[in-house]
Structure 1
Amino acid sequence: MNIVAATDFSTRSNRALRQAGLLVRSPDAKLHLVHVVDEDQPTELVRIEEREAQRMLVEQIAAMPELQNIHCYPIVVKGHPFDGILRTAAAVDADLVVMGAHRKQFLRDIFTGTTIERVIRGGKYPVLMVNNEAQRQYERVLVPTDLSNTSADAIRIGLSAGFLRDDRTSLLHAFSAVGKARLKTSGADPSIVSGYVENERERAMEELSKFLVANGFDGRPWALRVTEGVPMQVIARAVSEEQPDLLLMGTHSRTGLLRAFIGSVTEETLRSVDVDVLAVPPLSHEVQISESASSSL
């Protein structure tokens, strides 16, 4: 496995480096530590920052216990952070990109997104956002699914990478009871409303079961949770109640103004939860390494 761990030398990034080190399990696995230097400054200053970053990466490899006895490679590149990370991931044929949770700047994020969101949008690589202290193994994993091929791809990646344990994985599906509001407005008896919602829940559970069978996941003893509501609210409530160590989610390749103003459920989750999140883009998504700030709109 080839893992790229991005760092800006902050505490958030240090957590990501430690977690990345713990994910390196096989003797032939490689961990590439990358720092991106802003090239939009005087040339001499860029050279100074490159040398200093290289020195700091080498020191971190030597000092962090989680990075001992594994193949670590320090890499310093120039450019925008998201672009440099994606170029590095492409150069080493990464299987996973690991990043720390970044500080949010609300107005800027609406239009361009945080660095981690832009890495997810612009690449074909699963991205692990690390919020918490490093864990040798994720014990409780919550997998929100919309029953799409993208969700199935995310589950497959989670299984192949060893993130999903059969006895500690919960699948979450949010459904909408579209006629509920109309029934209430028309003055229907509460028992009729609740019966309608329960029928919709049973239908959603059947659809989830078909999804599992169609993708070969039906033999696993995962806990299934089908909940009425808006996806983001359902996810937030499940996170609060189940206290998972990791959220595993598929992402959809929406772009343009629609994404900038509405955002995806995954991006909303990245901005709002305090657990680690593994975001998996569609397997057919094309890598767009040279994305510019304007094209991210």
Structure 2
Amino acid sequence: MFRSLLVPLDGSRLAEAALPPALSLAQTLGAPVTLLHILEKDAPTTVHQDQHLSRAEDAVAYLNQIAQRFIAAGVTVQVHVHTRPVTDIAESIVHHATREFNPDLIVMCAHGQGGLRDFLIGNIAQQVLARQQAPILLCRPQAENHPPFTLRRLLLPLDDESQHDLSLDYAVHLARAYDAEACLLTVIPTLATLRGEQAAAGSLLPLTAAAYLDWQEEEAWAHLEEHLQDLQQAGIRAYRHVVRGDPAEQIVAVAEAEDADLIVLATHRKAGMAAFWAHSVAPQVVRRTRRPVLLIPL
């Protein structure tokens, strides 16, 4: 399923937070890796306090140096520098991903401010996700003494929409490769965390809304039980949780409580960037957790 990886890098040590997960996945899955750098037009001289790579020859030398880590681990790797400076970094990443490399997974660092350095909390992430089909693994910078990347436990937030079950296929793929277990999670709102029209209805008919949420919880347990049996029959160790509250808050809280190594989250790709960022739980989870998040575009 993940047969090739694309890793965009801006030359900073913060962006290199994507390297340990990419290296681990490439080794474990036998997937080749492409390291990508895009020259940015009118870029500042530094990026995250590191020298900005503004010349093609410097970028090639940098990527070749990074490539040695993959070669030493027995991973097939290629480097590519987009030498014509661009202003739309996201569009250039998407262009390379969809028309040149066709990766099954893009691994990026979820940190930055502005331009290529705005790697993922802002526009770059949402644009790359919305403009192409490949899943994106978002990684946060970690302390130097942080344990090496591995997958022992995956957290799979699911709802009652069957299309979100797409994340199960990816979870099975990774769980088998790493011999990891899967924690299935559904979050049911409370009256206080209902939003929009549901919140208005809940305030007018609180008893009815409370009964409906109780019914949703029962349905969630049954829904997860079906997936639990499927995973166990596939040889994957798995268990389930149903909790109440705000979805993003609870996903992050359960990920911490269960010490999940990865959150696998399906998310809608909206035509409008603002719509995507406003209505999806995914960016809220990304902002609040330091754990890697695998976003599966629907």
- Write the deviation string for residues 19-70 of structure 1: whole angstroms up to 9, x where unpaired: 21221137963110001111357xxxx99622211111112222x3675422
Aligned: 1:60 with 2:62 = no
Letter in 1 for 2:133: K
Match of 1:50 in 2: 56
Q: CA–CA distance in 2 between the matches of 1:183 and 1:122? A: 36
Aligned: 1:155 with 2:157 = no
Match of 1:225 in 2: 241
Aligned: 1:271 with 2:287 = yes
Letter in 1 for 2:67: I
Residue 273 of structure 1 deviates from its aligned partner by: 0.9
In structure 2, the CA distance between the partners of 1:49 and 1:150, relative to structure 1 (3 Å rule), is: farther
Residue 239 of structure 1 deviates from its aligned partner by: 2.4
In structure 2, the CA distance between the partners of 1:6 and 1:134, relative to structure 1 (3 Å rule), is: farther
- Write the deviation string for residues 108-134 of structure 1: whole angstroms up to 9, x where unpaired: x9xx93322321122100111112457
Q: CA–CA distance in 2 between the matches of 1:258 and 1:65? A: 37
Secondary structure in 1 matching 2:137: strand
Letter in 1 for 2:74: N
Match of 1:96 in 2: 105
Q: CA–CA distance in 2 between the matches of 1:165 and 1:224? A: 20
Match of 1:249 in 2: 265
Q: CA–CA distance in 2 between the matches of 1:194 and 1:66? A: 57
Give ranges in structure 1 of 5+ residues lacking alignment: 283-297
Structure with bigger RCO (C-alpha 8 Å, 6+ apart)? 1
1:83 to 91, 96, 102: 91
Letter in 2 for 1:115: I
Match of 1:113 in 2: 122
Q: CA–CA distance in 2 between the matches of 1:95 and 1:177? A: 37
Aligned: 1:70 with 2:87 = no
Q: CA–CA distance in 2 between the matches of 1:165 and 1:60? A: 24
Letter in 1 for 2:183: S
CA contact (8 A) 2:151 2:262 kept: yes
Residue 250 of structure 1 deviates from its aligned partner by: 0.5
Q: CA–CA distance in 1 between the matches of 2:59 and 2:25? A: 24
Secondary structure in 2 matching 1:29: coil
Secondary structure in 2 matching 1:76: strand
Letter in 1 for 2:12: S
1:142 to 142, 148, 155: 155
Secondary structure in 2 matching 1:11: coil
Q: CA–CA distance in 2 between the matches of 1:196 and 1:263? A: 22
CA contact (8 A) 1:138 1:163 kept: no
CA contact (8 A) 1:36 1:76 kept: yes
CA contact (8 A) 1:102 1:115 kept: no
Residue 184 of structure 1 deviates from its aligned partner by: 10
What TM-score comes out, normalization by structure 1 length?
0.75
Secondary structure in 1 matching 2:275: helix
In structure 2, the CA distance between the partners of 1:164 and 1:229, relative to structure 1 (3 Å rule), is: farther
Q: CA–CA distance in 2 between the matches of 1:254 and 1:65? A: 35
Q: CA–CA distance in 1 between the matches of 2:274 and 2:130? A: 14
In the alignment of these two chains, the number of paired residues is 267
- Write the deviation string for residues 231-271 of structure 1: whole angstroms up to 9, x where unpaired: 11221221232221111100112232761662410111112
Q: CA–CA distance in 2 between the matches of 1:31 and 1:187? A: 53
Match of 1:291 in 2: none
What TM-score comes out, normalization by structure 2 length?
0.74
Match of 2:131 in 1: 122
Give ranges in structure 2 of 5+ residues lacking alignment: 44-51
Letter in 1 for 2:185: L
Match of 1:172 in 2: 185
Q: Aligned runs of 1:186-225 on 2, under 5 Å? A: 200-210=216-226, 216-217=230-231, 219=233, 220-225=236-241
In structure 2, the CA distance between the partners of 1:40 and 1:206, relative to structure 1 (3 Å rule), is: same
